[in-house]
Chain A
Amino acid sequence: MRLTLQQRQIIWAYVFMSVALVFFVVIRWYPTILAFNVSFRDWNVFEGSGPWVGLENYQEIWEDAGKPRSSVTAAFSNTVRYVLFGVPTQLVLALAIALLLAQIRRLSALYRVAYFAPYVTSAVAVAFVWNWLYQPETGLINQALDVVGLPQQPFTKSPAQALPSITAVAVWQNLGFAVIIFLAGIQQIPAHYYEAARIDGANAWQLFWRITLPLLNPIIVYLTVLGTISYLRLFALVQNMSPQGTGGPLKSTTTVVLEVYREGFSSYKMGYAGALTVLLFFLILLITIIQLRFFSRRVEY
């Protein structure tokens, strides 16, 4: 058989894509499948593969969740709170900043870099800097509060403030990415929609609500889904901003991923950690499906 040019191009495309495919299979899928397998075993990392115990790990998680002051319950409820606090804040702020950035011409590149820089900074470095900013008495934020006569705040040292304080840092860090995506979306909206609306007498508020926001819907869905997933997987900031990386004080900042890490690598309960991972996987899957189903609607003009 003789292949056409197009067929040959397709074959080459597959050859090149196979590089990525191998990467995904070996680095992503294989460990994922392994995690499912591990979650049904009493697997201790030193022993290699442990005995099959069926749903015992899940049952243990369920029992632990029923205990007072349970880490598992704290981890899941905190994780949901990170999403609920973080994602909307991030979207609203990013949209506002993107709208402002779309207006300016001078130094616009500089502003974009400034907003994007935290996103490419290591979470550990970010956590260290913010730990210093949040310090009681000596931290910059508390000194500023002192100057304007407001009472000092404990931030990450208090069970009530620690989670919002860490969420704020996560928002600050992820903001740049959302801003850039929003900016791209805003710039794609054809200018003549606005011109036509202005001729019809629409004010700025109407332009935003009736044109900008609806046309940004796909972007909003995209950022919501990505943002939600990233908050559901929050780890590095909590590990580096809570006391001794324990998700404290009093489990107030711990997340599911942090518990997975602690169970797996400090208590060596890999099966239990694997089961937690699987639960998180399904939580992410469920939330993502719901979001895609309910938030994405086509907007045509």
Chain B
Amino acid sequence: MKRSKRFTLLGVLLISILLLAACPAPAAPAQEQAAEPASDMAAAADEVIEIEYWQYNFAARVDAMDQLIAQFEEANPNIKVIHNADIPYAEFRDKIAASVPAGVGPDVATLFYGWQSAWIDSGYLVPLPEDAFPPAMVSEEFSPMVQASFVGGTLYTLPTAVRALALFYNRDLMEAAGLDPNSPPTTLDELQDQAVACTQRDDEGDLVVQGFVADPSAQDHHWFREVLVRQFGGVPYTDDYSQVLYNDDAGLQAWNYLLSFHTELATGDRDLFDGSTNAFVGGHVCFHVDGSFRLGTIANNNPDMNFGVTELPEHNGVKSTFGSYWTHGLTKKAAADQARFDASVKFLQFITSADAGALWVDIVGELPAQLEAGSNPELLADEKLGAFAAGLEYSHATFFADESQQRQAIIDSFDMVVLTDEDPAAALQIAADADQEVLDDFWSSR
């Protein structure tokens, strides 16, 4: 009897231990709050406040942010910033989403500006305090594309750096095709002509060198909306980005221009070499529309490539480029605690300063978001970065309600024409309808 009771007791105990072990453990402090012995005069009185900062893993960004954090902590010995940059890009949004129900996660988070809507809509981001970030200061001192961080007149995020699109060209391939590598295309017509001249096929008709690859799943959907549509005399959306307008005559001309590289001119096939970007980086494409962030990819993967970068070709005298940026926001976790919130605001002010932007451009190669640092003559004269910096003053950042769905609308319509012979005008209308539905969804709930 005694023995059997012992067994039963043991069994019950074992089960309860297992159940306990399966319960979520309370969040342990990520780092011990050790006051630095060196700065005892400040730390003795003030408690050290710990804030958490998250960004996705990209070596240059991590390095740059580590340096900024070191500077910030030196200037603010009572604030400690925990830098979490271990999350791969593809999982970043999932991890953020998963961190919230767990009650952990960042106080300051870096996100793509196109995600703002979803993050704000869900109540994850809180407005930036106006006394620390006056709207007038932002409008005056930051690149105009940063206006996309105002949602319904309220500023939610601010970037350290911004990016713009420009035209990359492979000098060796141009030379091989008898083109002058010192005069890359400056107009849309020249781009078509030079792309055709640069395209090479083998005896069986397979593409060996692609002049230009139209690939909306890379940057060309941005190029279409914010650059081509404007250059053909249209506007992609109403000023508040609530109505699609690119489904008009100008939009159709822009659409046909983009399609022409795939259909009538046949200067490239986006399915070759794993997409247009990889094809250019691999040295199989003459001309390619891409952002400043691609400079790093090329430096890492094909450092010997002989290429140049110039401003996007103009048309009808109109210059335009698409601007985009990774931006920093304050989360509701930060807002839950006044001391942490104040520390987070301080940190955000620091990493969005002109000095931070100047440090960032050196390490990451993205342009400073502050006009003061961006219009630096040295930067404008830079052989590679100059073309992007020049674009900052005429750049447009699309305000996205749902970036991935709005991008998909353009990709799908492009596919319809290329893969299923849909009429271009009908396909463009389908894209506009799909895009409008996403916008309606977003604005109707506000």
Say if the beta carbon of B346 comes within 8 Å of chain A. Answer: no
Contact B11 A268 (CB under 8 A): no
Alpha-carbon distance A246/B18, docked complex (angstroms): 40
**Known interface pairs A18-B15, A22-B19, A136-B271. Does A45 touch B97 (Cβ–Cβ under 8 Å)?**
yes
Contact A18 B419 (CB under 8 A): no
Say if the beta carbon of B94 comes within 8 Å of chain A. Answer: yes
Nearest CB on A from B215, distance (A): 10
Which residues 301-335 in B have Cβ within 8 Å of A in the complex? 332
Q: Which of the segments B68-76, B79-87, B118-126 contacts the partner chain? A: B118-126
Task: For the complex, count residues of B whose C-beta is within 8 A of A.
Answer: 44
Alpha-carbon distance A11/B5, docked complex (angstroms): 11
Q: Which of the segments B232-240, B250-258, B373-381, B402-410 contacts the partner chain? A: B402-410
C-beta contact mask, A263-282 vs B, less than 8 Å → 1, else 0? 00111100000000000000
Q: Which of the segments A1-9, A183-191, A203-211 contacts the partner chain? A: A1-9
Main DSSP-derived SS at the B contact region: helix
Contact B1 A46 (CB under 8 A): no
C-beta contact mask, B399-425 vs A, less than 8 Å → 1, else 0? 000101100100110011001100000
Contact A266 B7 (CB under 8 A): no
C-beta contact mask, B3-26 vs A, less than 8 Å → 1, else 0? 010011011001100110010000
Contact B15 A158 (CB under 8 A): no
Say if the beta carbon of B187 comes within 8 Å of chain A. Answer: no
Q: B101: which A residues are within 8 A, CB to CB?
A: 45, 48
Say if the beta carbon of A164 comes within 8 Å of chain B. Answer: no
Say if the beta carbon of A103 comes within 8 Å of chain B. Answer: no
Q: A121: which B residues are within 8 A, CB to CB?
A: none
Contact B15 A249 (CB under 8 A): no
- Chain B residue nearest to A247 (CB atoms) is B408
Q: Which of these, B1, B119, B121, B412, contacts A1 with CB under 8 Å? A: B1
Alpha-carbon distance A1/B430, docked complex (angstroms): 77
Q: B122: which A residues are within 8 A, CB to CB?
A: 44-47, 268
Contact B11 A15 (CB under 8 A): yes
Contact B419 A137 (CB under 8 A): no
**Known interface pairs A22-B22, A136-B269, A136-B272. Does A11 touch B94 (Cβ–Cβ under 8 Å)?**
no
Contact A137 B1 (CB under 8 A): no
Say if the beta carbon of A69 comes within 8 Å of chain B. Answer: yes
Say if the beta carbon of A32 comes within 8 Å of chain B. Answer: no
Contact B7 A249 (CB under 8 A): no
Contact A265 B93 (CB under 8 A): yes
Alpha-carbon distance A158/B8, docked complex (angstroms): 63
Nearest CB on B from A242, distance (A): 11
- Chain A residue nearest to B403 (CB atoms) is A266
Nearest CB on B from A16, distance (A): 9
C-beta contact mask, A48-83 vs B, less than 8 Å → 1, else 0? 100000000000000000000100000000000000
C-beta contact mask, B194-212 vs A, less than 8 Å → 1, else 0? 0000000000001100000
Q: B272: which A residues are within 8 A, CB to CB?
A: 136-138
Contact A135 B4 (CB under 8 A): no
Nearest CB on B from A59, distance (A): 15
Alpha-carbon distance A46/B115, docked complex (angstroms): 13
**Known interface pairs A2-B4, A3-B4, A15-B11. Does A249 touch B100 (Cβ–Cβ under 8 Å)?**
no
Say if the beta carbon of B89 comes within 8 Å of chain A. Answer: no
Alpha-carbon distance A45/B121, docked complex (angstroms): 11
Say if the beta carbon of B353 comes within 8 Å of chain A. Answer: no
Alpha-carbon distance A22/B20, docked complex (angstroms): 10
Say if the beta carbon of B140 comes within 8 Å of chain A. Answer: no
Nearest CB on B from A166, distance (A): 16
Contact B93 A11 (CB under 8 A): no
Q: B273: which A residues are within 8 A, CB to CB?
A: 138
Q: A136: which B residues are within 8 A, CB to CB?
A: 269, 271-272
Q: B419: which A residues are within 8 A, CB to CB?
A: 157-159, 249-250
Alpha-carbon distance A246/B408, docked complex (angstroms): 8
Contact A266 B93 (CB under 8 A): yes
Contact A248 B412 (CB under 8 A): yes
Alpha-carbon distance A48/B102, docked complex (angstroms): 10
Q: Which of these, B10, B123, B124, B411, contacts A248 with CB under 8 Å? A: B411
Q: B121: which A residues are within 8 A, CB to CB?
A: 44
Say if the beta carbon of A14 comes within 8 Å of chain B. Answer: yes
Nearest CB on A from B371, distance (A): 33
Contact A1 B416 (CB under 8 A): no
Say if the beta carbon of A243 comes within 8 Å of chain B. Answer: yes
Alpha-carbon distance A157/B184, docked complex (angstroms): 32
Alpha-carbon distance A87/B163, docked complex (angstroms): 48
Nearest CB on A from B408, distance (A): 6
Q: A18: which B residues are within 8 A, CB to CB?
A: 11, 14-15, 18
Contact A154 B271 (CB under 8 A): yes
Alpha-carbon distance A267/B445, docked complex (angstroms): 15
C-beta contact mask, A30-50 vs B, less than 8 Å → 1, else 0? 000000000000001111100
Q: Which of these, B98, B402, B430, contacts A69 with CB under 8 Å? A: B430
- Chain A residue nearest to B96 (CB atoms) is A46
Contact A137 B206 (CB under 8 A): yes
- Chain B residue nearest to A2 (CB atoms) is B1
- Chain A residue nearest to B14 (CB atoms) is A15
Say if the beta carbon of B242 comes within 8 Å of chain A. Answer: no
Most chain A beta-carbon contacts within 10 A, residue among B100, B271, B404: B271
Say if the beta carbon of B264 comes within 8 Å of chain A. Answer: no
Nearest CB on B from A47, distance (A): 6
Alpha-carbon distance A104/B374, docked complex (angstroms): 73
Say if the beta carbon of B57 comes within 8 Å of chain A. Answer: no
Alpha-carbon distance A47/B100, docked complex (angstroms): 8
Contact A249 B415 (CB under 8 A): yes
Chain A residues at the B interface, C-beta cutoff of 8 Å: 1-3, 7-8, 11-12, 14-15, 18-19, 22, 26, 44-48, 69, 135-138, 154, 157-159, 243-244, 246, 248-251, 262, 265-268
The 5 closest A-B pairs by CB, nearest first: A46-B122, A46-B124, A3-B4, A44-B122, A15-B11
Sample of 20 A–B contacts (CB below 8 Å): A1-B4, A3-B7, A18-B11, A18-B14, A45-B98, A45-B122, A46-B332, A47-B122, A69-B412, A69-B434, A136-B272, A138-B272, A154-B271, A246-B408, A249-B415, A250-B412, A250-B415, A250-B419, A265-B93, A268-B122
Chain B residues at the A interface, C-beta cutoff of 8 Å: 1, 4, 7-8, 10-11, 14-15, 18-19, 22, 93-94, 97-98, 100-101, 118-119, 121-124, 206-207, 217, 269, 271-274, 332, 402, 404-405, 408, 411-412, 415-416, 419-420, 430, 434
14 more CB-based (< 8 A) A-B contacts, given A45-B98, A48-B100, A251-B412: A12-B7, A15-B10, A18-B18, A44-B123, A46-B123, A69-B430, A69-B434, A136-B271, A137-B206, A154-B271, A250-B416, A265-B93, A265-B97, A267-B118
